Chains A and B, each alone.
Chain A
């Protein structure tokens, strides 16, 4: 047996390097690995009418303010997020001046920073690029609420400084007909804790690419996701955690419910453990709860491991029905089928929604899920 040369320069099989140039990202034909799950009928309209449509960005409260907007190459912009697909490249190219939120060093906020992104366009393409910098030792939650109608391409570029604790909650609660695509990418510094919580509810198409890498040894990233996929809806979450430094941690836990004909969810969880990333620990999980006939959930965890010198790496994926035995047990305790379903689905999501850490938002999300359920079983 021969042992081949140890690769010193490894390009991930999962993720070719990104590019800012639109030409490097041809319009998807549906055959590309990264686009093969997304229905062309939903992607194509995005590239048809590219006239700019406005995005309304509202920062509520006065805990934090906008810093100087950033052009590509200015400050941190472009250092962390390099577009991995055409929509991210488009969003980047469209936004000359990115909104820029800075959480100064040592700032500790008890209340979340609320940012509402609203699109009300019946035609055209709304694009946005947001840069969030959590400086050393800061602690905050940034709540991004997306809503409205139209087509929205949104990038979020995040730097989590040393010892900072940053939670980014991204809620996708669009009107029917809306599409939301984009790339969120964070770089986590040593000693920092980053949490990203994606909540995807409304709209026809939601497709988020959510990436994390590290700027040094020993950062932690937790990626959570909650989605409720209705008839005809396509919700796709694609994660890429690049363990490019030693001793980092990552945990991903995405849970979704599907209900109604044509409800379709996709979860792709790519984790790359580079040769130098010794002593890291990673786990990723995706669970789907299928509530009716005619739904489809794709769940694709990928671990690419270039060093065995790690604390642990694992993944799990499951797609289950709301099962008859569960239903019988609850009904035998007096609950009617609707109540039983509600209890089970609430239970399924409760632990993740509790991670949001903002009570009024948690309650609103639970209420929203109750409404989704009620609408589906009516």
Chain B
């Protein structure tokens, strides 16, 4: 019998960024365990460190992990390069996906898939898979010929991130404000994509968001309120409803001297 994967375990994570005044602590001891099959929502006001958490997990060089640990099914990630973390099964859907002029979506997807799985996918089946994944995000076949994120609308960028989630099928996905800038229809399409991914049952989703509206489409198992670089409150889906009504104010008051 094989062991149940232990999940994405974040333990006492401290992260700082370099500023002109010296290093500034952003994350001040984050503890969170994301088990396979779970959806966790991280909610918090602007500037609370939510995106820093996302970038730090993925290994962005701007953020220095000063102490703590991140383990993916037992594998310590904090010492690994960005690409090794991705190869270990971590995916970050970015809030601001970057343009790569002259590189087509299809070439990009195939290159990424090859880099992650260690071998190029057989061309025939792959083209069909890509077309289907684009179709599920209501993107037409022409989309695969466009340069990555170049001239994409805000909605197209986010859908393209979810197309990658679909095709690359990582073990754990961090979605950094994937809902921001989406209109109602795009929000629904994107949410369906995330739900399909989560429905596999053995994948973990860390959904970072500022607003509760995406939680009408994606039902989290756990909700964490993120304030001033750490988790201030944890609960079930009810917590999101409470936040909807009363906002973040009471949590902010608690940390403001």
Q: Which residues does A use to contact B, with CB under 8 Å?
A: 324-326, 328-337, 339, 343-344, 346-351
- Expressed in whole angstroms, the minimum distance between the Cβ of A350 and any Cβ of chain B is 5
Residues of A within 8 Å of B60, CB to CB, are 328
- Expressed in whole angstroms, the minimum distance between the Cβ of A257 and any Cβ of chain B is 12
18 A-B residue contacts at CB 8 Å?
A324-B61, A324-B62, A326-B100, A328-B58, A329-B94, A329-B100, A330-B100, A332-B91, A333-B116, A333-B164, A333-B168, A334-B83, A334-B87, A334-B112, A334-B116, A335-B115, A336-B83, A343-B111
**How far, in whole Å, are A326 and B107 apart by their CA atoms in the complex?**
16
Interface string of B81-99 (1 = CB under 8 A from A): 1110111000110100111
Q: Which residues does B use to contact A, with CB under 8 Å?
A: 58-62, 81-83, 85-87, 91-92, 94, 97-103, 107-108, 111-112, 115-116, 147, 164, 168
Residues of A within 8 Å of B168, CB to CB, are 333-334
Residues of B within 8 Å of A343, CB to CB, are 100, 103, 107-108, 111
Cβ-closest chain A residue relative to B150: A347
CB pair A332–B92 under 8 Å, yes or no, is yes
Main secondary structure of the interface of A (DSSP, over half): helix
**How far, in whole Å, are A346 and B115 apart by their CA atoms in the complex?**
17
Residues of B within 8 Å of A331, CB to CB, are 59, 81-83, 86
**How far, in whole Å, are A336 and B82 apart by their CA atoms in the complex?**
8
**How far, in whole Å, are A333 and B59 apart by their CA atoms in the complex?**
12
Residues of A within 8 Å of B92, CB to CB, are 332
CB pair A333–B86 under 8 Å, yes or no, is yes
Assuming the A-B contacts A332-B58, A333-B116, are A346 and B103 also in contact, with contact meaning beta carbons closer than 8 angstroms in the complex? yes
- Expressed in whole angstroms, the minimum distance between the Cβ of B193 and any Cβ of chain A is 17
CB pair A332–B86 under 8 Å, yes or no, is yes
- Expressed in whole angstroms, the minimum distance between the Cβ of A280 and any Cβ of chain B is 28
Assuming the A-B contacts A329-B94, A335-B115, A336-B115, are A348 and B81 also in contact, with contact meaning beta carbons closer than 8 angstroms in the complex? no
- Expressed in whole angstroms, the minimum distance between the Cβ of B172 and any Cβ of chain A is 13
**How far, in whole Å, are A325 and B149 apart by their CA atoms in the complex?**
13
Cβ-closest chain A residue relative to B86: A334
Residues of B within 8 Å of A332, CB to CB, are 58-59, 82-83, 85-86, 91-92, 94
**How far, in whole Å, are A337 and B81 apart by their CA atoms in the complex?**
10
Residues of B within 8 Å of A335, CB to CB, are 83, 111-112, 115
CB pair B115–A334 under 8 Å, yes or no, is yes
Assuming the A-B contacts A329-B97, A335-B115, are A346 and B102 also in contact, with contact meaning beta carbons closer than 8 angstroms in the complex? yes
A333 contact from B62, B81, B101, B112, Cβ within 8 A: B112
CB pair A347–B101 under 8 Å, yes or no, is yes
Cβ-closest chain B residue relative to A344: B100
**How far, in whole Å, are A367 and B3 apart by their CA atoms in the complex?**
46
| Those 8 A-B pairs whose CB atoms lie nearest each other, nearest first | A347-B102, A334-B115, A347-B103, A331-B82, A333-B112, A334-B116, A329-B98, A334-B86
